[in-house]
Structure 1
């Protein structure tokens, strides 16, 4: 096991785009190690592969991404690929600019069966120039050698793999990027850096890769989000008026909740009426960062900082109706910005998009519209009034 220094230049070099083609595998590598298809990696790293396969990293090249190639400039699309498809070999699958003799040759050596998924693969993070990189071993133990050889010719240990800085390259907009109200479009690392989590040494990986799980759960996972938030409320009745106070606390997210400008969280309060056998909406709030589809103007930013709360207070006086129950419903829309933007694009470009791109856009829009879910439902039964 070769352990390198945790040098400050590692991440700059590791995420220096465009990443060079991997080239010819070492001559002593057997066929399994020569193949960079994640399925090959999964032969030994089964848990990591199974989690990755269901993750958004494995879906970074999706219809929602691909349709936009038709409307982006070559440079814009090339820039997007740095994070969505980091390897030169995977980029060549979706961008002809990367179909150079060197990259095509490397692809034939490292992906002998072709590339069926040009997304973020195992090699995107763990391999550079045929050298394997990874975090320190969890347990110091003797490596069993097979025929006198350590797999992959061993690997280079880098502590940065367990640092939030490792994620920054793709989850933080560049300093030169678009700013709205003084904020970049993505500032996950900056939000975390200023939080108590950073001061306490809690890294991105502690929450999104617990026990080195390769699933990177986030806003789309209901259980994951539920475990990070705490809703509290109280209802008092005074002279026929219901006084409602509620708060949603960010008790487990080490950055603003929700981060980015894409997701929105809706806090809705209802009253169930006995006379109408239905419920009416009393109050609705949005937690999130609301910007226009052109990404040129910010209208609202009500995101919750780490350990802070979003608070609501209002009164409700029924009009002759008998209230049987008050309900607080919290709904998460993980892809709200995409839905709004894609609907607008479909309307404005319906006549100019190619059939293939339009189909990809429609498919993605349908998927994102159906990603919403109810996070919490809290109810308060109105006490029965007894006859005096």
Structure 2
């Protein structure tokens, strides 16, 4: 049945952990509809599947996550699974605690060919107790099957699928979690709630799932980030001294930029002198929330608030050398915190890890190091008609 409503209790029950196993599929379902394998969902939802397959949601259980099972307590690891692998059927692929008769029976019926990827699946968000949930039809003109064999008994419409609150369960740390300088490690929902975007009714899905695209683009996507920021600068010269003023403005980010403690943004300013081949670094700053690897101390928080700016001002007076060019390079390190943490674990505890965990750690560390990219490069040629 199509039931469009906003139910305040829906999200609290939908994301109540531990999520219940799906149980036996309805007997009248054909084999394709009994399967909760995303590849089978792709039979009718091809675009959603292809976008999901390229997304980080489909990689929530990767080597960088799996190797940590060996250093976390059992309770810590199971807590991580609530977001990284929400369904009890997928959890059973990762932890023997979930090898109960009920869960394994449910897995055998709902995933008849096994679970190749125990990450965040279609069913993680859309199915509870064999009932399908989803957002309202796009338009009133959308076709609705009202008779005959309705695919998977139709679905229950919930407006919450298009609200930021739907994302809160996994993208907002619990109040009881770690706090540094009075802030939780993840406060994306709260940051959005205080932003101008929330007041305008712009939800997480409007930016991260445009046109209901199941890609959840974020800090790792260069084009996505470029559209959300505006770098501007000017260079003035007075009595042989150059004054540099630069601004990086957040124009389309509905939360602190960057959010979480993991990513960092590097702003570096260089000058190229006539008699030097290599650029000379003049100034650099870091935009981000900088904490230690133990997550017990915050050193700085220079993140940019929604519609806010990070401003850099400095002066430079060359000696006798004439200047060819100033340039400003902005780099994004999406996984900086992971790189520091993984490297430290490899250095200090590498000999204690099993062979398999060590392989996963090294592979993940290399992957995280390679995620760094250049976001913008701006240049200012000299001599030029500089303002005085």
The verdict on a shared fold, with TM-score over 0.5 as the criterion, is yes
Asked if the contact 1:143/1:150 (under 8 Å) is kept, the reply is: no
When the two chains are superposed, the root-mean-square deviation of aligned CA atoms in Å is 1.1
- Paired with 2:20 and 2:359, the residues of 1 have a C-alpha distance of 33
Counterpart for residue 237 of structure 1: 237
In the TM superposition, what whole-angstrom CA distance separates every residue of 1:10-52 from its partner, at most 9, and x where no partner exists? 0000001111110100011111111100011111111100000
Shift in Å at residue 375 of structure 1?
0.1
- Paired with 2:45 and 2:316, the residues of 1 have a C-alpha distance of 57
1:81 maps to 2:115: no
Counterpart for residue 96 of structure 2: 96
Shift in Å at residue 340 of structure 1?
0.3
- Paired with 2:322 and 2:124, the residues of 1 have a C-alpha distance of 61
- Paired with 2:318 and 2:126, the residues of 1 have a C-alpha distance of 61
Shift in Å at residue 245 of structure 1?
0.1
> Within 5 Å, which residues of 2 pair with 1:121-132?
121-132=121-132
Runs of 4+ in 1 over 6 A off after TM superposition: none
> Within 5 Å, which residues of 2 pair with 1:260-279?
260-279=260-279
In the TM superposition, what whole-angstrom CA distance separates every residue of 1:125-147 from its partner, at most 9, and x where no partner exists? 0000000000000022332478x
Structure 1: stretches of 5+ with no match in the other structure: none
> Within 5 Å, which residues of 2 pair with 1:110-259?
110-140=110-140, 141-144=142-145, 148-259=148-259
Report the CA distance shift for 1:158/1:144 in structure 2 as closer, same or farther (over 3 A): closer
- Paired with 2:276 and 2:160, the residues of 1 have a C-alpha distance of 60
- SS in structure 2 opposite 1:13? helix
Counterpart for residue 345 of structure 1: 345
- Paired with 1:3 and 1:384, the residues of 2 have a C-alpha distance of 65
Shift in Å at residue 122 of structure 1?
0.1
Structure 1 range deviating more: 137-146 or 355-364: 137-146
- Paired with 2:320 and 2:354, the residues of 1 have a C-alpha distance of 57
> Within 5 Å, which residues of 2 pair with 1:312-327?
312-327=312-327
- SS in structure 1 opposite 2:279? strand
In the TM superposition, what whole-angstrom CA distance separates every residue of 1:300-339 from its partner, at most 9, and x where no partner exists? 0000000000001000111211210000000000000000
Counterpart for residue 28 of structure 1: 28
Asked if the contact 2:4/2:159 (under 8 Å) is kept, the reply is: no
Report the CA distance shift for 1:313/1:379 in structure 2 as closer, same or farther (over 3 A): same
- Paired with 1:49 and 1:367, the residues of 2 have a C-alpha distance of 24
TM-score by length of 2: 0.98
Shift in Å at residue 2 of structure 1?
2.2
- SS in structure 2 opposite 1:278? coil
Aligned length: 384
- Paired with 1:236 and 1:184, the residues of 2 have a C-alpha distance of 41
Shift in Å at residue 384 of structure 1?
5.9
Report the CA distance shift for 1:322/1:113 in structure 2 as closer, same or farther (over 3 A): same
- SS in structure 1 opposite 2:267? strand
- Paired with 1:182 and 1:114, the residues of 2 have a C-alpha distance of 44
- Paired with 1:293 and 1:272, the residues of 2 have a C-alpha distance of 36
Counterpart for residue 357 of structure 2: 357
- SS in structure 1 opposite 2:189? helix
In the TM superposition, what whole-angstrom CA distance separates every residue of 1:65-112 from its partner, at most 9, and x where no partner exists? 000000111100000000000000000001110011111110110000
Structure 1 range deviating more: 271-280 or 241-250: 271-280
- Paired with 2:383 and 2:353, the residues of 1 have a C-alpha distance of 58
Asked if the contact 2:164/2:203 (under 8 Å) is kept, the reply is: yes
- Paired with 2:304 and 2:245, the residues of 1 have a C-alpha distance of 17
Shift in Å at residue 4 of structure 1?
4.7
Structure 1 range deviating more: 52-61 or 134-143: 134-143
- Paired with 2:370 and 2:242, the residues of 1 have a C-alpha distance of 34
